[in-house]
Amino acid sequence: MFGDPQHDHIVHNIDNQNHLIACFEDAMINNLDIENCFGNYGQEVAVWADGHHYGHCCQTLVIKADFWWNYHMHPQHLVHQIRDYIRNCPAVERIIVQGSEFSMKSMKLITSKGRIDSKFSAFIAGINVLKGPPVVLTCMTLRGAGPTQHVVTDHCI
């Protein structure tokens, strides 16, 4: 939406390049820990699961929105934490935010249709104006219950 048109090819190829997303979707649908997906694809991943991110710098950052919401973190706090992480970690190229529809909407990350909120997308686009290579944001939202349960995956640069 707000991204650089020169980066569109990155979004179109992202699911084919990374099996981590498919593994996360399967884990979310089957109510398994996404940590079972780590270590199988040869990349180091940083995980923010408690609202306090201070960890090591990795190419991929995974944010568990349910835990952030459970710790009563304000949505703006998450934006500040992401901004600081990107400033201090030039290696980061991918941020995956995953969680339930309730926590993702409460953290103002997605719209009612499960797509990335335009303000959050604009925040990422603003970061990418100053950063190269660009950061790809992926929001993975678990929606529904029972037989209607599914994961909505949306990307932005």
What order do you get walking across the sheet with 150-156 strand by strand? 45-48, 60-64, 94-100, 136-143, 150-156
Kindly give the interhelix angle for 19-29 and 8-17, rounded to the nearest 10 degrees: 60
Does residue 80 register a pLDDT over 50?
yes
Does residue 32 register a pLDDT over 60?
yes
> Closest Cα to residue 7, out of 152, 146, 138, 135?
135
- Under the banding of pLDDT at 50, 70 and 90, the label for residue 48 is confident
Query: What is the pTM (predicted TM-score) of this model?
Result: 0.84
pLDDT tens digits along 92-148: 999 999 999 998 898 888 888 878 888 888 888 888 888 778 899 898 999 988 888
| Mean pLDDT for all residues in the chain | 81
Give the start-to-end residue ranges of the domains of the chain: 5-156
Least confident range from 15-29, 75-89, 95-109, 121-135: namely: 15-29
Beta strands in the chain (DSSP E): 45-48, 60-64, 94-100, 136-143, 150-156
More reliable by pLDDT, 149 or 50: 149
Cis check for the bond before 5: say yes or no (omega within 30 of 0).
Answer: no
Confidence (pLDDT) at 50: 64
Mean pLDDT of 60-79: 84
- Sole residue written with tokens 């201090």: 88
> Long-range pairs for 105-112 at CB < 8 Å and ≥24 separation?
106/69, 106/75, 107/65, 107/68, 107/69, 107/73, 107/75, 107/78, 108/75, 109/65, 109/75, 109/78, 109/139, 110/139, 110/141, 110/152, 110/154
